[in-house]
Amino acid sequence: MTERPADAPYSAAADRYETLPYRRSGASGLDLPAFSFGLWQKFGADYPFTTQREIILHAFDLGISHFDNADRYGPPHRAAQQTFGAVLAKDLTRYRDELILSTKAGNPIGASPYLRGGSRKSILTSLEHSLRDLRTDYVDIFYHHSPDLDVPLEESVGALVSAVQQGKALYVGISNYLPDRAHAAAELLRAAGVPLLVHQTRYSIYDRRPEQNGLLDTARRDGFGLIVYSPLAQGLLTAKYLETIPRGARAENSTFLSPDMIDDTYRQRTAALNKLAESRGQSLAQLALQWVLRRPEVTSALIGASSTAQLDHNIAALRFSPLTDEELSLVDEHGVHGTGSRS
């Protein structure tokens, strides 16, 4: 797709709700698209705004109404929110009622003790900055980004409740919580009349922790949905690294991926999964996305993109037939937890 000129007016595609299924988030009344768009990487100040804008608008044209952000995303921190805020102001203001905007607070963004953690001051101050960055009066979902074991859970949860009571968030979520603490947060929120909408967690064929630690069961029992991130394991669940590490690939300079993680064991397992995907007429990335969405506890899978073509390719995962029991067994055989991990 050719990038539209920066000054070209935007009108959303008329058929934008005909591409993606929407799924109910837990026991709430909110439907979210099967794919949500994350601005975790490549939406900071180090990428061209024209490309970022084109990808965001193309995502909305495809029916992705949920855009996920955090105060930490950049570089520098907060830059991804500012990128989206610029697109919202320029192109998407008239569609604000159709958008689900989420952001998070709590991961470190500076040296000050008030620029990290789960205190009431940290969480609510971050929200104020995020609203200015995003150029909106409220966010639809506000998360505590990571648990802070040095702060009473009641204080962190209380800050989320206040965000809703002040009209600055419609729903609340948590991210990266272990099941016991997630359950405790859900109980506190329920008692305050602000039920936990979603938990955002890492989940992929190579990262099975939500299956192993009981988080899937906790979500079902407590009535919250799961939004899963890194479903492609930072690119490990693609054919990109089967032969070598391409120049400029994420494994060369990422905090989350390094060349030593791409060993012979990784390549053998990934080649087998790629062969399975090819037998289904799809790419490994499409197989991996379809696999995480097979679980009813998973409301939405977060995807990013560096181009509109990559976005189109990932969305196409939904066009393939469901995985059979035999195919799921093959995924379990080769998709070993911890593959491509330092742990």
Q: Is residue 267 part of a domain?
A: no
Question: What does each C-alpha distance from 19 to 12, 59, 68, 311, 312 come to in angstroms?
Answer: 14, 11, 20, 13, 11
CATH number of the domain at 44, please: 3.20.20.100
- The total domain count for the chain is 1
Averaged pLDDT for residues 270-299 = 98
Q: Is residue 152 part of a domain?
A: yes
Closest CA to 235 of 338, 340, 343: 340
Per-residue pLDDT tens over the stretch 7-51: 788 999 999 999 999 999 999 999 999 999 999 999 999 999 999
Domain that holds residue 297: 22-235+287-322
Q: Is residue 256 part of a domain?
A: no
Q: Is residue 2 part of a domain?
A: no
Q: Is residue 302 part of a domain?
A: yes
Q: Is residue 9 part of a domain?
A: no
Per-residue pLDDT tens over the stretch 106-130: 999 999 999 999 999 999 999 999 9
Q: Is residue 45 part of a domain?
A: yes
Please report the sign of the dihedral spanned by the C-alpha atoms of residue 315, residue 316, residue 322, residue 326.
Answer: negative
Q: Is-above-0.85 flag for pTM?
A: yes
CA angle 274, 245, 44 (to 5 degrees): 100
Q: Is residue 186 part of a domain?
A: yes
